[in-house]
Amino acid sequence: MITLYGIPNCDTVKKARQWLTAQDLDYTFHDFKKQGVDAALLQRWIAGIGLDKLINRAGTTWRALSDAEKAQADSNEGAIALLQAKPSIIKRPVLDNAGKLSVGFKADTWQEAFGK
């Protein structure tokens, strides 16, 4: 089971979705802005990917946060609350390929991961 998490209007997410479709891979798309992201899923992502890789500190949403909000990202509990409140700071896309997690999209990396 492949699940792609992201925001539909994100260019990188669009490229990832196009790649998955072109490879004829069945996947489920989860729009975490509309559908949200539960705390248990975020905890699993943090454990599997790491908080530093999961948070997009280069994006406009992160830069617009107050220093107090940014400080929340220093602990897992605070980061989870922040990511749920502002899912746009999650680096995109997050790919769950039968339990194997990755963040971001690079066609050559995905080519290797899927054996395509």
Cα-Cα-Cα-Cα dihedral of 3, 7, 11, 15, to 10°? 10
Whether residue 77 lies in the annotated active site: no
Spatial separation of the C-alpha atoms in residues 35 and 97, rounded to whole Å: 19
Tell the residue number behind the tokens 């899923």, with chain if given.
41
**Active-site residue among 2, 3, 7, 10?**
10
Residue 99 backbone phi and psi in degrees, to 5: 95, -15
Which residues does the annotation mark as catalytic? 10
